[in-house]
A and B are shown apart, each in its own frame.
Chain A
Amino acid sequence: MVWYIVRRFLQLIPVFLGATLLVYFLVFSLPGDATAAICGERGCTPAVVAGLREQYNLDQPFWIQYLLYLKGVLTFDLGTNFSGRPIATIIAEVFPTTAKLAIMALVIEAVFGIVFGLIAGLRKGKIFDSSVLVLSLIVIAVPIFVLGFLMQFLIGVKLQWTNPTVSGDATFTELLLPAVVLGLVSFAYVLRLTRTSIIENVNADYVRTATAKGLSRRRVVVVHVLRNSLIPVVTFLGADLGALMGGAIVTEGIFNVNGVGNTLYRAVLNGDGPMVVSIVTFLILIFCLANLLVDLLYAWLDPRIRYA
């Protein structure tokens, strides 16, 4: 088990190198000169442009730029973005907010998705099951920005239950609305996955055995049916955590959340290479770790799975 974990961590090294190289190259190949974004509508004098290019190593060829960046990373210095601020500081500022938002969304979608899915699966074909299925279909079909603007307008502006936007403090209550919006689509998927999985397992041999042994219905459902049904759901949630960390650009934009998604979006627009690469690499590492966690959870959920 320990060896397995160590091996997985060692695998992160080539992933890190490959990802940074690829992303750095993609940003490098974006059309347009990065100094044009810094200079704005007015433009700068050639002397200033030359000064900026030197400051951010833009006058160097691709390989040198990339190696300089790698050298920085290995010495724990991510460098500065095009506004002259340390990238490490920026990530430290925005990451906690996004992490809070992502975890809240994940908890919301997991709890509601699994509970509703369980009930629907056990009462297959009944009125609760059918209505939940229809509702989840609607949620999946409506684009997230429509949901976002709609809920912001209804709950934030009309009813005034909460502020329409998130302040710099990003408190729990402020993040609740964006977390619900963010979790809504995945909630529908979790619900459907759980339901299907439960329906399959309810008729399995070991469930019949457990019932025949005289176990209470509660114990049969929670320990035998549900636990075995969670494997596809956990796989989905693990992948979703990675997606929520980096992919909340739309929701963060609607609710003015100062998070990773917004920061990444701005960096891409400005062609801010080091900034984009640092954030994306960070996200990749989180994604890998979330996957590792999922794999370890498999073994706990299903004792037949073992790692050596």
Chain B
Amino acid sequence: MRFTRTSKMLSVAAIAALSLSACGGGSNESGTSEGTTDAVIVVDGSEPQNPLIPTSTNEVGGGAILDLIFAGLVSYDADGKPENEMAESIETEDAQNYTITLKEGKTFTNGDPVTASSFVDAWNYGAAAKNAQLSSYFFESIEGYEEASAEGSTVETMSGLTVVDDRTFTVKLSQPESDWPLRLGYSAFFPLPAAALEDPAAFGENPIGNGPYKFAAEGAWQHNQQIELVPNDEYEGPQEAQNGGVTFKIYQNDTTAYQDLISDNLDVLKTIPTSDIKNFKNDLGERSIESPYAGNQTIAIPYYLPNWEGEAGKLRRQALSMSINRDEITEVIFNGGREPAKDFTAPVLEGYSDELPGSENLEYNPEQAKKLWEDAEKIAPYDESQPLTIGYNADKGDHKTWVEAVVNNIKNNLGIEVAGKPYATFKEARTEATEETLTGALRAGWQADYPSLYNFLGPIYATGAGSNDARYSNPEFDQQLTDGLAASTVEEGNEAMNAAQEDLLEDLPAIPLWYQVAQGGWSSNVDNVEFGWNGVPLYYAITGK
């Protein structure tokens, strides 16, 4: 929706009407939030890259929409704590066999009840190789995933999933994993109505969900323009809409969106463009926010590079890490909009610790760095003919500035040849990483799918893991991860995860740089804007003014 003059007048009238009725009624409303709850909020979005099916969406543009129109077994509150959503209970005795009971009377917006099959069928669809769903690996813990997801497999169901009755199903994992229930709020685990599986392509254009919002009408997704959502009146749960709808306006770049924000044509912008980071607090004042979220930035150095293997490689990695002045870079380049890293995960997660043994390797210490580098030289001399490069993709995200800063730090402190290496496109960099043909280090950003330490460790550093760009392999680390997953409680699991991190801090397969902080702003038309644990605004809580 555009803010034409008429709509502005309408909202003024609405506010006037509301305040009048408040005066007339005389009784104080007990609502926690001020402001109107019927305003339509215009927020920035990016075009979903795939049909809006939970298991085929792997990027933030589509993810933001799915999180509003679907509700999983659990959802995450602002701090990332899971709360039961569709689930009445999730029970287990051995962290391997789970019995899930659903709440009564939950429906999709087309009237279909949300049953055990809605979950089981959706998960089976997501895992089966023949459907080629991008997020299929999220089901890897479930027994029978291997058979269903193997290349060319025609198996359509996972043996670990059993429907008991309409409201109950059981899940058997292939090994005990105590943090598995934490994952169930991620979009890949959302339920689907029967209609979805009959014609996925059509469903992806006009999805039917069970979440706090729904599509305003058929065709509410105007590609590359906007997606219009309205509250789902049937929904009852922790994320009930406090506004009259959310319209995602799709922008090609943040700079343009920022112009719309400061002229009140856009209500919420979740990422301030780099060019305006220096002045957005002046422009917006009270209407800006900096909110740490579960994401980090690292530089992965592959072990297959000649200079970076073995004991010498380890010492060199440590030297590199200690020669980077994280405090200065986060202050000067990001204007304080990043937090220097102290480990491999993120501070908003439960179990996070900033004083793990080995975290001193992430502190700026040029003297020690030089000494470590010299120690490495004694073991194996540095091959000058293959100087280190730090790769980054130049098409999205504006990484050039900080990569150059890191490069200068290393050059000045270690006196070696280092250079930034821009890749024209993201896919070019990813292809080299996948095919093991990188000729230097590569920047890697990770944003949590679900709030768990394991999500920052397993998929990136476990032997053979999908995003293990460094090709790190350490049996001790792998074992600690497995133990951590098998622990009977999440707390015990976190202890094991942090023990595993000590290995990483020693080996540094990737060099952690900083934790991400969401820098956003809102217009003078809205109130109650808060960002969640994953850096996404809590859209449902925003109210009009």
Q: Which one of B252, B263, B466 lies within 8 Å of A45 (CB-CB)?
A: B466
Assess the A84–B256 pair: CB atoms within 8 A.
no
Q: Quick check: is A20 within 8 A (CB to CB) of the other chain?
A: no
Q: Quick check: is A143 within 8 A (CB to CB) of the other chain?
A: no
In the complex, which residues of chain B have a beta carbon less than 8 angstroms from the beta carbon of A38? 49-50, 134
Residue of B nearest to A257 (CB): B252
Q: Considering residues B133, B201, B223, B395, which has the most beta carbons from chain A within 10 angstroms of its beta carbon? A: B223
Q: Considering residues B48, B260, B427, B429, which has the most beta carbons from chain A within 10 angstroms of its beta carbon? A: B427
A168 to B424 alpha-carbon distance, docked (Å): 29
Q: Considering residues A36, A50, A82, A167, which has the most beta carbons from chain B within 10 angstroms of its beta carbon? A: A36
In the complex, which residues of chain A have a beta carbon less than 8 angstroms from the beta carbon of B59? 40
Q: Quick check: is B516 within 8 A (CB to CB) of the other chain?
A: no
Q: Which one of A36, A37, A40, A51 lies within 8 Å of B132 (CB-CB)?
A: A51
Q: Quick check: is B294 within 8 A (CB to CB) of the other chain?
A: no
Give 1 or 0 for each of A248-268: 1 = CB within 8 Å of chain B CB.
000011111010001100100
Chain A nearest CB: distance from B60 CB in Å? Answer: 10
Assess the B256–A165 pair: CB atoms within 8 A.
yes
Assess the A44–B134 pair: CB atoms within 8 A.
yes
A157 to B204 alpha-carbon distance, docked (Å): 37
Assess the A253–B132 pair: CB atoms within 8 A.
no
A46 to B255 alpha-carbon distance, docked (Å): 37
Assess the A41–B427 pair: CB atoms within 8 A.
no
In the complex, which residues of chain B have a beta carbon less than 8 angstroms from the beta carbon of A52? 132
Assess the A168–B222 pair: CB atoms within 8 A.
yes
Q: Which one of B50, B223, B259 lies within 8 Å of A153 (CB-CB)?
A: B259
Assess the A45–B136 pair: CB atoms within 8 A.
yes
A256 to B46 alpha-carbon distance, docked (Å): 12
Q: Which one of B136, B225, B252, B467 lies within 8 Å of A168 (CB-CB)?
A: B225
A1-55 contacts to B, CB under 8 A, are: 30-34, 36-48, 50-52, 55
Residue of A nearest to B204 (CB): A84
B248-297 contacts to A, CB under 8 A, are: 249-253, 255-257, 259-260, 262-263, 265
Assess the B224–A263 pair: CB atoms within 8 A.
yes
Q: Quick check: is B68 within 8 A (CB to CB) of the other chain?
A: no
Partner-binding segment picked from B109-117, B146-154, B172-180, B190-198: B146-154
In the complex, which residues of chain A have a beta carbon less than 8 angstroms from the beta carbon of B225? 167-168, 258
Assess the A40–B151 pair: CB atoms within 8 A.
no
Give 1 or 0 for each of A89-102: 1 = CB within 8 Å of chain B CB.
01001100000000
In the complex, which residues of chain B have a beta carbon less than 8 angstroms from the beta carbon of A41? 430, 444-447, 467
Question: Are A157 and B226 CB-contacts (below 8 A) given A37-B430, A38-B134, A51-B129?
Answer: no
Q: Quick check: is A196 within 8 A (CB to CB) of the other chain?
A: no
A159-181 contacts to B, CB under 8 A, are: 160, 163-165, 167-169
Q: Quick check: is B434 within 8 A (CB to CB) of the other chain?
A: yes
Question: Are A39 and B58 CB-contacts (below 8 A) given A32-B428, A84-B51, A157-B263?
Answer: yes
Assess the B430–A36 pair: CB atoms within 8 A.
yes
Chain A nearest CB: distance from B59 CB in Å? Answer: 5
Assess the A33–B434 pair: CB atoms within 8 A.
yes
Assess the A269–B395 pair: CB atoms within 8 A.
yes
In the complex, which residues of chain A have a beta carbon less than 8 angstroms from the beta carbon of B371? none
Assess the A164–B256 pair: CB atoms within 8 A.
yes
Question: Are A253 and B134 CB-contacts (below 8 A) given A39-B430, A153-B259?
Answer: no
Q: Quick check: is B431 within 8 A (CB to CB) of the other chain?
A: yes
A52-105 contacts to B, CB under 8 A, are: 52, 55, 82-85, 90, 93-94
A6 to B133 alpha-carbon distance, docked (Å): 49
In the complex, which residues of chain B have a beta carbon less than 8 angstroms from the beta carbon of A43? 430, 434, 466-467
Interface size on B, residues (CB 8 A): 59
Assess the A157–B262 pair: CB atoms within 8 A.
yes
Residue of B nearest to A262 (CB): B252
Chain A nearest CB: distance from B136 CB in Å? Answer: 6
Q: Quick check: is A281 within 8 A (CB to CB) of the other chain?
A: no
Q: Quick check: is A247 within 8 A (CB to CB) of the other chain?
A: no
Chain B nearest CB: distance from A159 CB in Å? Answer: 10
In the complex, which residues of chain A have a beta carbon less than 8 angstroms from the beta carbon of B260? 163-165, 256
Assess the B49–A83 pair: CB atoms within 8 A.
yes
B224-256 contacts to A, CB under 8 A, are: 224-226, 249-253, 255-256
In the complex, which residues of chain B have a beta carbon less than 8 angstroms from the beta carbon of A228? none
Assess the A42–B467 pair: CB atoms within 8 A.
yes
Assess the A93–B223 pair: CB atoms within 8 A.
yes
A34 to B430 alpha-carbon distance, docked (Å): 10
Assess the A168–B226 pair: CB atoms within 8 A.
yes
Residue of A nearest to B264 (CB): A160
Q: Quick check: is A270 within 8 A (CB to CB) of the other chain?
A: yes
Chain B nearest CB: distance from A28 CB in Å? Answer: 14
Q: Which one of B48, B256, B459 lies within 8 Å of A255 (CB-CB)?
A: B256
Chain B nearest CB: distance from A118 CB in Å? Answer: 37
Q: Quick check: is A238 within 8 A (CB to CB) of the other chain?
A: no
Assess the A47–B222 pair: CB atoms within 8 A.
no
Assess the B265–A164 pair: CB atoms within 8 A.
yes
Assess the B466–A163 pair: CB atoms within 8 A.
no
Question: Are A32 and B430 CB-contacts (below 8 A) given A37-B425, A51-B130, A253-B253?
Answer: yes
A45 to B430 alpha-carbon distance, docked (Å): 14
Q: Considering residues B49, B222, B249, B262, which has the most beta carbons from chain A within 10 angstroms of its beta carbon? A: B49
Q: Quick check: is B81 within 8 A (CB to CB) of the other chain?
A: no
Assess the B150–A36 pair: CB atoms within 8 A.
no
Q: Considering residues A30, A45, A94, A269, which has the most beta carbons from chain B within 10 angstroms of its beta carbon? A: A45
Assess the B51–A258 pair: CB atoms within 8 A.
no
Assess the B251–A256 pair: CB atoms within 8 A.
yes
Q: Which one of B250, B259, B429 lies within 8 Å of A152 (CB-CB)?
A: B259
Q: Quick check: is B400 within 8 A (CB to CB) of the other chain?
A: no
Question: Are A270 and B263 CB-contacts (below 8 A) given A47-B151, A52-B132?
Answer: no
A152 to B262 alpha-carbon distance, docked (Å): 12
Question: Are A85 and B223 CB-contacts (below 8 A) given A40-B58, A45-B137, A255-B256?
Answer: yes
Chain B nearest CB: distance from A178 CB in Å? Answer: 11
Assess the B259–A37 pair: CB atoms within 8 A.
no
Assess the B426–A37 pair: CB atoms within 8 A.
yes
B127-165 contacts to A, CB under 8 A, are: 129-134, 136-137, 149-153
A153 to B260 alpha-carbon distance, docked (Å): 10
Question: Are A256 and B252 CB-contacts (below 8 A) given A33-B434, A36-B434, A157-B263?
Answer: yes
Known: A48-B129, A157-B262. 13 other contacts (CB 8 A): A32-B432, A36-B434, A38-B49, A40-B430, A41-B444, A45-B466, A47-B136, A51-B130, A83-B50, A163-B260, A165-B256, A252-B252, A262-B224
> What are 16 pairs between A and B in contact, CB < 8 Å?
A31-B424, A31-B428, A31-B431, A32-B431, A33-B435, A38-B50, A44-B58, A47-B151, A51-B132, A52-B132, A83-B51, A165-B257, A256-B252, A256-B253, A270-B425, A271-B427
Residues of A within 8 A of B (CB): 30-34, 36-48, 50-52, 55, 82-85, 90, 93-94, 152-153, 156-157, 160, 163-165, 167-169, 252-256, 258, 262-263, 266, 269-271
